Amino acid sequence: MSRGVSVLSPLEFKDTDIYDILEKYLAGELLSVRDIERLLKSHDLWALGKVAKTIKEKHYGKMCTYIKNMILNYTNVCVVRCKFCAFYREPGQGYLLSPRDAYNMIKEVWSRYKIRQVLIQGGVNPEITIDYFEELFHLIKSNLPDVAIHALSPIEIDYLSKKHHMSYREVLERLRDAGLDSLPGGGAELLVERVRKILSPSKIDVETWINIIEIAHRMGIPTSVTMMFGHVETTYERALHLYRLRELQRRAPGSLAFIAWNFEPNKTRLAEEYGIKYPWGGYELLRIIATARIVFDGFIPHIQAGWLTVGKDVAQLALNFGADDWGGTLYNERVIPSTGLKVKFPREDEIKLWIHQAGCEPRERDNWYRVI
């Protein structure tokens, strides 16, 4: 992807508090962490949104994509014990689907909706070995070859590596041979050690998370990358997260999309310990999405609208603040509902209507963001 937007002039933004930063971007310069921080602090949301929307339309016009997919939460047992998670249970207190039961669940959803992707995520369950995933992936690919497997975060790759005394590359090779198509970027939260030690002291560190994603990219395995905001982080730390994701892409391109989502505090230890009563609102998501579109221009091609945690109305706005992808239908998702948040999972015709109402043209895509 080429960088810069020739149809915009820096003079259009001379009265904004971020004029000099937008001038740098429009001149093709890479933004520093401090530049990104200032974008994330700017209250001129309309200037930020105009630039982001123009970048998006330069690459994709009015098109906005979506995918018919499901989430398979194969287990809720996890020994990482993230303080922001209301979904996990201790060993002996949760569930683990057998590979056959997990496959049958996927097949049932596919028979109803003809999904094109299954996002497989669970937790670090000590009972699971790599053979579990190989069996599950083989079942999917043998019977539903058109369903892409978007599975396992760097956290789970690290766990399998330690359990089996294999390198990250060896783990990924075995999973790819079994049918893995791409890797979701879960477990990123915020790529800042101070924050990670509060959110999840047992989770892999920043360097390890980045290393696993980089190895996947160098093996030709595409990924998505994520960001969870609205908890204990500062604006500078949000900027550092975006900066580190961009630098990762400069070294080893391979991330297809960026997804930001706000921390949902209900029923979590983090909310109790830090007195977090409410999730951050749509204003902040729009600012992050617009900033991400500017920062990642030329590096990460797609930005998702983040409908799951903010709802359809803010997601529709996000399509005019730089997002070009609605995301998935996310059938069977259990993690966010575990907080008590009531989520309406949309039908395909509803997603197409909502995209159209936002002034965009809905297009179905596959796992690799190719329009069907």
Residue 337 in this model has a pLDDT that exceeds 70: no
Contact 167, 161 (CB under 8 A): yes
51 with 42: CB under 8 angstroms? no
Task: Judge whether 153 is annotated as a binding position.
Answer: yes
Architecture of domain 60-364: Alpha-Beta Barrel (3.20)
List strands edge to edge, sheet with 223-229: 223-229, 255-262, 302-303
Helices 33-41 + 235-251 axis angle, to 10: 130
Q: For residue 64, give the 3-state DSSP assignment.
A: strand
Rounded Cα gap, residues 173 and 183, in angstroms: 12
Domain locations in the chain as residue ranges: 60-364
What whole-number distance in Å separates Cα of residue 228 and Cα of residue 216? 22
Residue-wise pLDDT for 205-241, tens only, equals 999 999 999 999 999 999 999 999 989 999 999 999 9
Strand partners, 136: none
Q: Using CA atoms in the order 304, 308, 309, 314, what is the torsion angle rounded to 10 degrees?
A: 60
To the question of whether residue 189 is assigned a binding role by annotation, the answer is: yes
Within 10 Å of residue 366's Cβ, how many Cβ atoms?
17
pLDDT digits (tens, 9 = 90+) for 139-183: 999 999 999 999 999 999 999 999 999 999 999 999 999 999 999
Residue 360 annotated in ligand binding: no
**What tens digit of pLDDT does each residue of 18-40 get?**
889 988 998 899 999 999 999 99
In angstroms, rounded to a whole number, what is the distance separating the alpha carbons of residues 236 and 36?
A: 8
The position carrying tokens 């299954």 is 118
User: Does pTM top 0.85 for this prediction?
Assistant: yes
Tokens of 5: 């937007």
Cβ atoms of residues 254 and 286 within 8 Å: no
- Measured CA to CA, the distance from residue 79 to residue 85 in angstroms comes to 12
**3-class DSSP state for residue 288?**
helix
